[in-house]
Amino acid sequence: MSIAIFKYAAPMNFYGLAGRLIPWFAWSSGILTAIGLYLAFFVAPTDFQQGEAYRVIFLHVPAAWMSMFIYMVMAFWSAVGLAWNTRLSFMMSRALAPTGAVFAFLSLWTGALWGKPMWGAWWVWDARLTSSLILFFLYVGIMSLWSAIDDPRRGDKAGALLTLIGAINVPIIYFSVKWWNTLHQGSTINMTKAPSMAAIMLAGMLVMVFAAWFYAIAASLVRVRGIILERERQTEWVAEILEGKA
């Protein structure tokens, strides 16, 4: 087992493994999305309080979860990379960031779509939405740091340090935003207190969560393959691959 892990820590071996895994995750994600959307729009009953508009939570909740979860995974890879100086961990972190940012943005967007019928406003400074917004800002910060640094080694480490200090800060930010929200008593309706959820709604939600999860894995594997090719383009094995394609 441990031998296998070390083997795949080398970018060359991981490139191949990732290539074999991508179709599986991509297809599972596609199928699960189809099932999930079917459940969400055709099977799940209309909510007696919120009407049809509530159906956006089938997108909103998975997106919000994934945006947080991906940040934690990035922090994990950053810590591993800084501790053992493994290049692949930094590449994974870089590959995950855009997906995380997309999910954070999606959760903001769907939150706004939900907010309009619920609160009569596209945006309310609800604790959840506000923390999603700040999480989105964190993603933007990390990605702009990467893009400003030309040297890949420096960029890797600088981005990892920023991700980590952000990760330490994220729980405090969440807490402070919640604190701020109760202090100012803004919205009285709270997203966490969703009316008791029917089993079928929960099922649809879970399916969508897994779909999002597999999508995130597939997308970041595709991206990490690109990063590996770019970083290792002076090596022989990449030259062989590129010639084979040409």
Q: Which residues bind other proteins (CB under 8 A)?
A: 82, 134, 137-138, 140-142, 144-145, 148-154, 157-158, 161-162, 164-166, 168-169, 172-173, 175-177, 179-180, 183, 231, 233-234
Minimum Å distance from CB 63 to other proteins? 19
Residue 221 or 228 with smaller CB distance to other proteins = 228
Report the residue number, 56 or 129, with the smaller CB distance to other proteins. 129
What is the closest distance, in whole angstroms, from the C-beta atom of residue 80 to other proteins in the complex?
A: 15
Alpha-carbon gap, residue 142 to 56, rounded angstroms: 29
Q: Which is nearer to other proteins, 196 or 234 (CB)?
A: 234
Cβ proximity to other proteins, 170 vs 207, nearer residue: 170
Q: Nearest CA to 149 among 138, 139, 136, 158?
A: 158
Q: How far is the CB of 45 from other proteins (least distance, A)?
A: 39
Q: Could you give the CA distance from residue 136 to residue 105 in angstroms, rounded to a whole number?
A: 7
Rounded CA separation 170/74 (Å): 13
**Contacts of residue 160, Cβ cutoff 8 Å, sequence gap at least 6:** 77, 78, 79, 81, 82, 90, 93
The residue (of 3 and 183) whose beta carbon lies closer to other proteins is 183
Nearest CB to other proteins, comparing residues 140 and 203: 140
Closest CB 9 distance from other proteins, rounded Å? 17
Q: Quick one: how far is CA 57 from the chain centroid?
A: 17
CA–CA distances in Å: residue 102 to residues 174, 243, 246: 20, 33, 32
Helix axes 11-38, 2-9, angle to 10 degrees: 100
**Smallest gap from residue 137 Cβ to other proteins (A):** 4
Taking the complex as a whole, the smallest distance from the CB of residue 239 to other proteins amounts, in Å, to 13
Closest by Cα among 206, 197, 202, 200 to 50:
197
